[in-house]
Structure 1
Amino acid sequence: MNGKQDALFRFAAAPKGVETVREPLSFMRRGADAHGAYPDSLAISQNWSVAAQGSDVPVYAVPVTRCGPHSFCRVELLAEGCAAALRLKFSGMLHEVRITPQTDALQWRKEGGDIICKLAAPCTFTVEVNGRMYTPLTVFVEAPEQNIPRREDPNVLWFGPGLHRVSSLELHTGQTLYLASGAVLKAVQPGKEEAPTVAGDWAGVPNYKDFIRAQDSEDIKVLGRGIVDLSELEWHARRILCFTRCRRVTVDGPVLL
C-alpha cells in the first residue's frame, strides 16, 4: 500500500507476474477473439498512467470486444472535501477529453498533455479522449474499506496481495471469500482429471464447474478490493459466479474480468 505521511490516497502495488503490455496491437485484437485463452490478458496499461501525490498508481488493461483495450485503476480517498488530485496521462496526443458521468465529486481540467482530476468524494468515472471510445480509462475512487473480515476466521477464504492461480472455489453456508487490495484471483485451465459438467454446449465446447460457486447455501459473501480474472480460460469453460438456490448472498468490491 502507498503509505505517505499525510496521504490523501491509498492504493496497492500491482502483483508480481502482471506485466506491461508488450505488443499493443496484438493485445488489442484479443478482444475480438471469442475463442482464445491468453494467460497475460490482465496487464499493465501502455495507454494510460495515473499519479497520486507524486506516486504512480497501477493502471491495468484488459482486451474488450470493441474499442479496447480498456484501462482501469482504483484508489482509496482517505479524506473527503480536501480537493485531492489525480494526474492522468494519455500515451498519445491529447486534443479532447470527455469524462462521464458528470458529478459534483469531481472537477477536472486539461493541462497540456495531462488531465488533472480534483476529487471531493468517492466516485467512479470513465475518461474518453479525442472524440473516440477507443482505449478508455475507468477510475474507481473509493472510500476506505470497512468491515474487513478477520484473516484468522475459519469461515474466511482470504487472499492477500499477489497473484493467486486457482482452478475454482466452492463456498458453503457462512463463508466469506475476501480479496485484499492488490490480490488477483486468476482462473487456470481445467485439468485433465476434471470432467466437464456439459460435454458440449450450443457452441460445441465443454463447460466446467463455475469458478466461484455455491449451492443450497446461505449467508455467503464475496468481498474486497481485488480482481477476479478469467481471461486465461478457454471460451465458455467456466462462468465467473453462480449461486444456485442460495439465500443472503453479498458480492461487493472485487473487479470481475
Structure 2
Amino acid sequence: MTTIKRIIRLSLSSVISLCFFIIITPVRAEKIQNQLKTYPAPTGAVQNNDFTVQVRQPDGKWQDLPEYLIKVDRVVGTTHQEQNSSLAYFDFAGEVEVSVTYNKGPVNTAKIRPLSYDIKHQLKGHTIFFKLSKPANLSIEVNGDIFHNLQLFANCVEDFVPDPKDPNVIYYGPGIHEVPGGELMVTSGKTVYLAGGAILKGRILIQHAWDVKVLGRGIIEQAPFRGVRIAFSKNVTIEGVICSQCFTGGSENVTIRNVKAISYYKWGDGMNVVSSNNVLFDGVFNRNSDDCTTVYGTRGEFTGGCRNVTMQNSTLWADVAHPILVGTHGNTPKPDVLEQLNYINIDILDHMEMQYDYQGCLSLNAGDSNLIRNVRFENIRIEDFRHGQLVNLRVFFNKKYCTSPGRGIENVVFKNISYNGNNASTSIIAGYDDLHKVKNICFVNLMINGKVISDHMPAKPGWYKTSDMAGFFVGEHVENISFTTNSQ
C-alpha cells in the first residue's frame, strides 16, 4: 500500500471513530424556511456605533441588531495595540437580507470575507446590502480596515432550547450575569444555556465531569482567559456561544460547534487541545491574539499525547502567531505521539507574525520529543495574510519552550490547498538530524496564485526543485516529499 493511500485510510478511520461521540449532540430538525430571530442587547452592554446593522426576511420589515464593542489585537512594529471592533449576531432559516451602514464616513470599498463564500453585495451610499441563504460567520470590512470591522455571525435557528425549570439546566436568560467568584463550576450531567442577549461575566469550568453541554447564543464576557475550560472530562459539547477562549486538556469525546472565539490580550490562544483524544471542532470562528488552534502533548497538569483531533468547516484569523500549530510541547522523559489530526474545509483570513520561529499558517513543529504523524490538511483556502509563511514543517529544538528536539514528522498530506496573495515569505520544511526527520510529505493540487505546483508542471526548469516553484525551502533531513495532481 502506498504512503498516500495509507494516510487516507488512517484519516478515514479517524473520522469514523469521531462518529461515536458526535452522536451525543441533539439530532438536528429539518430546516424550516424563512425564520428570523434577533436578540436585543441587555441593559449595560457596551456598544460600538461604527456600524448600523439591520436584517429582514425577504421584503419584510427591517429589524435592528445590537452592535457590540469587542477588542482585537493589532501588531505595530514589535508592540501590540488594542483596537475597537464590532460584533453582531442573529439566527435565521431560509433567506435573509442584510443591511450594514458605515457611520464613520464614505464607503470607497467594501469586502465580505471569507472570499470563498463569494457573497455578492450592493453599495448604496454608506450602506452595504447582501443576502444570505445559509449560516455564515463573516467579516465585513470597509475601506480595507480589518481592525475596525464588523464580525457578523448569522447562525442557524436553534433546534434545542432546554427547559429553564429542569434541575439539570443552569439557565441564563437575556441580561448581564455575574458569576460569583468569577468561575462557574459545571458538574456532570449539567447543561449550561446562555440565551441570545445574555452576557456572562466569568469563566465556565468543566473539570472532572462528564455528559456536560454549554449551549446558546449568548456571550461570555471578552476578558483575559475568560471563556470555557474543559479539563479531565468526557462527553462534552460546546455549541453556539461567543467567548475569548475554549480550552481542552486531558479530556475525551469533546465537540465544539459554531463557537466564536475572539481575543485581544497577550497569549490569547483560541482553541487549544492538550493531551486529549477525540476532539471535533465544527464550524468555529477564531480571531485570536495568539495561535488560533493548537494540538500539544504533555503540558503542565495534563499528560499524554493527542489522537483523533479534527477541525472542519471553520474560519481562522491569527492577529498574532499561527492559525494552526501542532507539536511544540510534550514530554521528553516519556515521549508523546500526536496523530490522526485532520484540518478540512477551512478558510484562513490572516496570519501576522514577525518572529521567524513562530510563522506558518499550517505549522507542524515537533519539539519536546513529540512524534507528529498521520496528519491531513484538505480543502484549505488561505487569503493574502499580512506577514508569515504558508507552511512550516520542522523538527526543532526551541530552547525557550522545549527540553529536547522532536522525534519526527511523518505521513502528512496537503490536498487542495490554495493561496492567493503576495505577502507570504519562504516556507520551511526541515528535519533536525538523521534520527529526527521529516518524511513522507505529499502535496496534492497545491495552488499558489492560480498555478498548480507539481513535479511535472510544464513551467518548471529541469534543474529546479519543485519546492522552488512553490517558494518553499526544503532543508536537510527531509525524505520522500512529492508534489502531485489528482491526475498523476
Conserved 8 A contact 2:176-2:198? yes
Q: Name 2:149's counterpart in structure 1.
A: 136
Identity over the aligned pairs, expressed in percent? 29
Q: Name 1:177's counterpart in structure 2.
A: 192
Q: 1:105 to 1:124 in 2, by over 3 A?
A: farther
Q: Deviations over 1:10-49 (max 9, x none)?
A: 111000111xxxxxxxxxxxxxxxxxxxxxxxx2112111
Conserved 8 A contact 1:105-1:120? no
- How far is 1:125 from its partner? 1.1
Conserved 8 A contact 1:68-1:136? no
Cα distance in 2 for partners of 1:8, 1:102 equals: 26
Conserved 8 A contact 2:72-2:147? no
Conserved 8 A contact 1:179-1:223? yes
- How far is 1:52 from its partner? 1.8
The farther-off stretch of 221-230 and 125-134 is: 125-134
Cα distance in 2 for partners of 1:138, 1:65 equals: 14
Q: Deviations over 1:58-106 (max 9, x none)?
A: 111112222731211111113x1x4x21110111221111111135584
Alignment of 1:46-57 (within 5 A): 46-53=49-56, 54-57=62-65
Q: Name 2:109's counterpart in structure 1.
A: 96
Conserved 8 A contact 1:50-1:57? yes
Conserved 8 A contact 1:45-1:71? yes
Q: Name 1:109's counterpart in structure 2.
A: 122
Q: Name 1:45's counterpart in structure 2.
A: 48
Cα distance in 2 for partners of 1:135, 1:245 equals: 38
Is 2:232 the partner of 1:245?
yes
Q: Deviations over 1:161-208 (max 9, x none)?
A: 111111221011111110001111113xxxxxxxxxxxxxxxxxxxxx
Conserved 8 A contact 1:105-1:122? no
- How far is 1:250 from its partner? 0.9
Q: Name 2:176's counterpart in structure 1.
A: 163
**AA in 2 matched with 1:186:** K
Cα distance in 1 for partners of 2:92, 2:188 equals: 33
Task: Give the gaps of 5 or more residues in structure 2.
Answer: 1-32, 57-61, 75-81, 245-488
Task: Give TM-score, length-normalised by structure 1.
Answer: 0.71
Pairwise CA RMSD of aligned residues? 2.0
Conserved 8 A contact 1:107-1:119? no
Cα distance in 1 for partners of 2:172, 2:155 equals: 20
Conserved 8 A contact 1:225-1:254? yes
Cα distance in 2 for partners of 1:135, 1:143 equals: 26
**AA in 2 matched with 1:127:** I
Q: Name 2:67's counterpart in structure 1.
A: 59
Q: Name 1:28's counterpart in structure 2.
A: none
Q: Which of the residues 215, 218, 222 maps onto 2:214? A: 222
Decide which structure has the larger Cα Rg and report it: 2
Cα distance in 2 for partners of 1:48, 1:73 equals: 10
Q: Deviations over 1:133-186 (max 9, x none)?
A: 230101111111012112111111000011111122101111111000111111
Q: Name 2:92's counterpart in structure 1.
A: 77
Q: Residue 83 of structure 2: SS of its match in structure 1? A: coil
Q: Name 1:201's counterpart in structure 2.
A: none
Runs of at least 4 residues off by over 4 Å: none
Q: 1:239 to 1:137 in 2, by over 3 A?
A: closer
Q: Residue 63 of structure 1: SS of its match in structure 2? A: strand
Conserved 8 A contact 1:105-1:119? no
**AA in 2 matched with 1:229:** E
Q: 1:165 to 1:114 in 2, by over 3 A?
A: same
Cα distance in 2 for partners of 1:230, 1:77 equals: 25
- How far is 1:120 from its partner? 1.5
**AA in 2 matched with 1:108:** H
**AA in 2 matched with 1:221:** K
Task: Give the gaps of 5 or more residues in structure 1.
Answer: 1-5, 19-42, 188-210
Q: How many residues align?
A: 197
Q: Residue 148 of structure 2: SS of its match in structure 1? A: coil
Cα distance in 2 for partners of 1:133, 1:239 equals: 24
Conserved 8 A contact 2:70-2:222? no
Alignment of 1:10-49 (within 5 A): 10-18=37-45, 43-49=46-52
Conserved 8 A contact 2:34-2:92? no
- How far is 1:7 from its partner? 7.3
Q: Which of the residues 234, 237, 242 maps onto 1:255? A: 242
Cα distance in 2 for partners of 1:74, 1:243 equals: 25
Q: Name 1:39's counterpart in structure 2.
A: none
Q: 1:104 to 1:126 in 2, by over 3 A?
A: closer
**AA in 2 matched with 1:85:** E
Cα distance in 2 for partners of 1:174, 1:249 equals: 10
**AA in 2 matched with 1:255:** I
Q: Residue 121 of structure 1: SS of its match in structure 2? A: coil
